[in-house]
Amino acid sequence: MQIRLAIEEYLDVLHSERQYSPATVRAYGADLQSLAEFAKPRNVFEVADIDLELLRDWLWDLSQRGLAPSSLARHAAAVRGWTSWLAHNNRISNDPAARLRAPRAGRSLPKVVAQEPLRELLDDLRSRAAEGDPLELRDSAVLELLYATGIRVAELCALTQHDIDFQRLTIRVWGKGGKERVVPFGAPARSALEAYLVRARPMLLRVEVDRVFLGARGGALGTRAAYALVAKNLGALPGATASGPHALRHSAATHLLDGGADLRTVQEMLGHSSLGTTQIYTHVSTERLRDAYRIAHPRA
């Protein structure tokens, strides 16, 4: 079986059967295509001809090009998943990547925006939105909701009006793997959402869509545009080191733990399948405590 066809079939399985997100499928595809391009000049075009030596040479070549350990680990994981599927479905007689290892990726702490500058930013957005500009109203609602709920940007862009319960102050979110969860939000997010839906969305709407958030051209707001608008606002903060919607997700989780929320609650709110994923935020809180201690305690 040709490598190209095997990759296409595998990506289709990830999308249709395993219900991976389009972004994840694209990432897997890019990693596997990198292997296919590496194999061509070595006259390897069939999956049966892939061996462990070729895979190790490929990872070594990527490392020489300057790929970070985290990227190398992702490439190795992508090819291990692919060859395991090939072997399981009898496309190859043995799994050449079963013993493939990549440099262990160090886990860096997530970037978090401090509470006070974030409060000032959200207050400034609300003041600008009060003047009635539709895009300012939308941007205020987007940032308020992302910070209030800690949802992913793809989850935000997929929201419909039926997913919002203003009585209970909750939103229904469809996360990774199609898992549904209900996430609470507070009064500031409610105020920003109501203002956007009443005063801005009807003005922005150009085509009939049921998504809550709309782009400048009147269609559904895309994830790339959402990233851009969040990055623009967070990037304007003095000394900004974090930008993009995930910075708001990280900040929401960390500030919840700082305020006394338990880890299981934060796990459920973020939609993490593993508690270990959520525990990274306890390290952030601990680091912040240590910094405050070093600055404030006379015997530090």
Catalytic residue among 80, 249, 250, 255: 249
What is the arrangement of strands in the sheet containing 180-184, beginning at the earlier edge strand?
164-165, 170-174, 180-184
CA distance 29 to 8: 8
User: Residue 10 catalytic?
Assistant: no
Rg (Cα) of the chain, in Å, rounded? 23
The question of whether 65 is a catalytic residue gets the answer: no
The Cα 75–Cα 29 span in angstroms is: 10
**Residue 266 amino acid letter:** V
Q: How far is CA 128 from CA 121, 136, 225, in A?
A: 11, 7, 20
Active site residue 246: yes
**Integer Cα distance of 56 and 160 in angstroms:** 46
CA dihedral defined by 114, 120, 126, 130, rounded to 10 degrees? -170
**Residue of 176, 181, 199, 288 marked catalytic:** 176
Find tokens 């308020």 and name the residue: 144
User: From CA 194, how far away is CA 201, in angstroms rounded?
Assistant: 10
Alpha carbons 98 and 110: distance in angstroms, whole number: 31
Residue 29 CB-density burial (10 A; 0-12 exposed, 13-18 middle, 19+ buried): middle
By DSSP bridging, strand 180-184 and strand 170-174 are antiparallel
Q: Which residues pair with 2 in a beta bridge?
A: 46
How many angstroms separate the CA atoms of 112 and 5, rounded?
Answer: 42
Any catalytic annotation for residue 281? yes
Say if residues 148 and 141 touch (Cβ distance below 8 Å): no
255 is catalytic: no
For residue 214, the cross-strand partners are 220
Query: Considering 75, 80, 255, 272, which one is annotated as catalytic?
Result: 272
Catalytic residue among 80, 152, 201, 255: 152
Please give the positions annotated as active site.
Answer: 152, 176, 246, 249, 272, 281
